[in-house]
Structure 1
């Protein structure tokens, strides 16, 4: 069965990944009023939806252009390299999301105690959410477009040269650094001190890089683009764990139970990470990590 492989050299793969990152971030600032309206303004969000969609479409021909034909029976199509395939799709839709929820057992317990879970049972909550551009950005457009550019397009270029293991750590660097652009808005629009804006953005870069490594791991283990997309959407919904809220509880017994839930979630996630991402569960014969 004919397929394609990626045979560009290592420096070309790095430069292409850098180009993809620049195109993605640059597309957010091409509008004339990008420096005056907040990133949360509906006009800004809608225009950026258009921008990132165009970028995602434009990189597909580039992926085709830099691929090489192969008659090797183990070669795969461009779309299979990018994690867009049907074999194993059901497990890819369910298991990685459950695994990510295990990691967030602590924050989920906190949500339960705070009564947040009751909101999810209200149809009005979901109706309001899907009409909200910020919610759509955080839960739909950002996970889809970012995972497409920073995982589905970059990893097929990096893996042939650096292997799956190193690619898990190299790929997220582009993702983490790409989030530094938020510092521009903090300084120009929110009038934050440069040092404070840098510290906040550096922290954001650090945890997005860590998440990027997890996301890349999910992509390579499952061979599915949708697996990291759902994990990304869920993490965006949960946000960074509110450790300070846990420590603020006056009831010591309750506080220790919450701490135990956080620790249990982390330990259980580590224990389940490899078994629940075993490639055979997802019919993954593309990547091996």
Structure 2
């Protein structure tokens, strides 16, 4: 049963605050070239590193800005962090359950990856002799080399660390408490918050249009597909944040979705993939509310002091 919170700020202030956070996030990303007039980065690596710094600055400023609007009465750091869903209690539940729930949407993709991996192993085994002792000994070294290559890839840091962390901080941790504090109903917040999230991706239209030398119509179609995906994911991430009260819940879902990409629904001559996808969706719908029940993520369910109201929504 949903319990509405008493409005602490006006709805107008809450919406204007969210719009400002969206503009701030995007503006700081382009500040080095448009405002500071710095020369363009010499490489893609330098470009991404500059973006990392800008995203970190915008996230920190967003946390400070929202803290001034929210009437947080307690000066204790733990209470302030809990407003943003930054908590240490029930951390394993906040990581494991949302990750399991999200993986169900990718059941078809996971089955396809397993089938392709097994086929690859069979091909390698048929075309080569049994593994030699030297090959077995080299496995740890090969693994560490592969791990080092991944850790030094700025694209990996962008997709799986910086982008998920900064976006969830700004568009979930900061905006959702603002909207709930403005008196919006919980389901309204879940559907409204991703609108701001999608607006922040409109800058991709000009980037794709200028960098890929394609027509404006093609760039618009690409961005429209991205926006549709971000809105749907935003609904899900906002739902996880409100239900669990943990920032890490939508964060792990964000990282997992970035890793998997769009879910695979059908695969050529592999009906098992479609069956797995349908079964995963059914299981996802069946577990969506039970596995995100607030009691699983919180010690108390009454007199909750958090502005997102996760303790009050049962």
Could you tell me the TM-score, scaled by structure 2's length?
0.80
How do residues 240-259 of structure 1 correspond to structure 2 at under 5 angstroms?
240-243=262-265, 246-247=266-267, 249=268, 251=269, 255-259=270-274
| Distance (Å, rounded) in 1 between the aligned partners of 2:99 and 2:290 | 14
Q: Indicate the structure whose relative CO is greater, using CA pairs within 8 Å and at least 6 residues apart.
A: 2
Aligned in 2, Cα 1:122/1:267: closer, same or farther, shift over 3 Å? farther
Structure 2 counterpart of 1:189: 211
Note if contact 2:105-2:263 (Cα within 8 Å) is conserved in structure 1. no
Say whether residues 1:89 and 2:104 are aligned partners: no
Structure 1 counterpart of 2:278: 263
Provide Cα deviations, 1:11-44, integer angstroms capped at 9, x if missing partner.
1111111111111112221222899669x91111
Structure 1 counterpart of 2:20: 19
Note if contact 2:94-2:246 (Cα within 8 Å) is conserved in structure 1. yes
Note if contact 1:180-1:201 (Cα within 8 Å) is conserved in structure 2. yes
Note if contact 1:6-1:67 (Cα within 8 Å) is conserved in structure 2. no
CA RMSD, Structure 1 to Structure 2 (Å): 2.5
Q: CA deviation at 1:70?
A: 4.5
Report the more deviating stretch, 278-287 or 196-205: 278-287
Aligned in 2, Cα 1:10/1:129: closer, same or farther, shift over 3 Å? same
| Distance (Å, rounded) in 2 between the aligned partners of 1:53 and 1:132 | 18
Note if contact 1:34-1:44 (Cα within 8 Å) is conserved in structure 2. no
Note if contact 1:154-1:171 (Cα within 8 Å) is conserved in structure 2. yes
Say whether residues 1:139 and 2:160 are aligned partners: yes
Q: CA deviation at 1:186?
A: 1.0
How do residues 40-189 of structure 1 correspond to structure 2 at under 5 angstroms?
41-70=44-73, 77-115=79-117, 122-160=143-181, 161-189=183-211
Note if contact 1:150-1:174 (Cα within 8 Å) is conserved in structure 2. yes
Q: CA deviation at 1:103?
A: 1.5
- Segments of structure 2 that go 5 or more residues without pairing to the other structure are 1-5, 122-141, 302-308
Could you tell me the TM-score, scaled by structure 1's length?
0.86
Note if contact 2:108-2:264 (Cα within 8 Å) is conserved in structure 1. no
| Distance (Å, rounded) in 1 between the aligned partners of 2:7 and 2:18 | 13
| Distance (Å, rounded) in 1 between the aligned partners of 2:188 and 2:157 | 33
| Distance (Å, rounded) in 2 between the aligned partners of 1:55 and 1:13 | 18
Q: How many residues align?
A: 271
| Distance (Å, rounded) in 2 between the aligned partners of 1:242 and 1:181 | 27
| Distance (Å, rounded) in 2 between the aligned partners of 1:35 and 1:184 | 19
Q: CA deviation at 1:139?
A: 0.4
| Distance (Å, rounded) in 1 between the aligned partners of 2:289 and 2:97 | 12
Picking from 228, 238, 251, the partner of 1:216 is 238
- Segments of structure 1 that go 5 or more residues without pairing to the other structure are none
